[in-house]
Structures are given as C-alpha cells and as structure tokens.
Amino acid sequence: MIVSPLMTVMVDAVRKAARGLKRDFGEIENLQVSRKGPGDFVTAADRKAEATLREALMKARPGYGLIMEESGVIEGQDKTHTWHVDPLDGTTNFLHGVPHFCISVGLEREGTIVAAVIYEPIKDELYLAERGKGAFLNNKRLRVAGRQDLADSLALYGSPYLGRGSHPRLLKELAAVMAVTGGVRQTGSAALDLAAVACGRADVYWERDIKTWDMAAGLLLVREAGGFASSADGGADPMTAGSVACGNEVLQRELVAILRKVGG
C-alpha cells in the first residue's frame, strides 16, 4: 500500500465523492437526468461528485489546475500540476442500475502522470499508483497477467458514443481481435478496463476517442503494474492521441499490430 501526503489527499477526496454516488445509485429512479449529446448522459450524481472532488482537491492543493469531465479546464497558478478527474466513469451503467462504475483521478506533473486513484464504490475496490512506487488494489501489489499467447487472452474494448468516433472501424477491429483471442468483452468503463489489465483480470484493452480524464489514472496503474500502454496506433502518448492499447509487453505489441493492420 502506498502511504504519502499526496495519496492521502486523493483517497480522501475520492472516498468523499463516492459516498454521494452510492446513495444516488440506490435511488436511480429519482435522479434528474439531462441529455448533453447523443448517447452521452450527465446526471445529478455526476455533477455532485465532481463538485465534491473539485472542492477537496483545490482545498488540499490550491494552485493546481484541473481538467474535469463536466467543468472542463480550470487553470491553476501552478502550471506544472494538473488533475485529470472523471467523477463517474461508467455513467450509462450507473443510469441503468448496472453496478460497474468508478471515480478516477490522475495527477499530471510536467507532462507525466505521477499519481492515480481509481475507486469502484460498489465493490469497495481502491486502486492506487504513484510513479516509481508500484500499483496496488487495496493492500495487494498488482502485476499484469503473464500470458504470452493472444489465443489464451481476454480482451476488453470500448466503443464510441453515437456521433463520436467510427463504429465501422471498431467493427473491423473487433472482428480481427475476436479471430485471435480467447474472448472479448465490453464493460462500459475505460478506467476500470485499464485497472482490470493492471491487476491481471484482463490481458489487453483498446479504445479510441476517449479523453484524458478517462485514462490518466489507469495508464499509470498499468505501467506501474509492469504493463505497456500506447495509443491504439502504437504512438507513445495515449493522452495526446485520445486512444489507448495496453497489456503486457508481448500482447500489447501484438494487439497494436492487429489494430494497425486493420487501419491500414
């Protein structure tokens, strides 16, 4: 387990926001839901959780900037530090009563993600990582799975919302990956998919057209668990590319090769 002042700040903020999400999840039918785009919903619970996180993080580190799903970019006096915050990753699951969603917070320092917390409140699973200190699920050190053959692997993927990204491209990629892997799943939460790779529950994961708050924390988890992550096309920086492909060294490389072949 990682014990540091920074991790204490992040965990405290996430747990505080999670209490509200759990209450609201128990009263789904009473939530006020508004549309912010085709297939992309924002709920009262989402906004409340973000406000809680924003208040807690700004109080603890008042100079840091924030990039938040609902509030957008909030400039800070300290230009070297930026929080990437998703208060409710898996909103569609949440709205439909599916207990698979999380809060994700990653801290970027001078262009590098250095700290991460992902919390899945229904299972009470807390994922932590600090650069150079490893990745943990509750008190257990994480390592990516060691499988070396895609035929034995479980692959996770994310699909774009209506009106965002290319569904035809995804279908081609999906067909190619299904043909060589042991199984393919979609869970509806990018952050938890990355966490699943970090803890060995899944072997590889890819997704396009996602934002920094979707993946900042999860990328550090994967890397600190011994995994490799790039853009879906093999580029070094998923955050800039807005896409990700990850796994252990062997399978991540093979996954990227498949995605490139389909794209080419």
The binding site for Mg(2+) comprises 69, 86, 88-89, 214
Please state the residue numbers annotated as binding site.
69, 86, 88-89, 214
CA proximity to 64, closest of 114, 105, 104, 107: 107
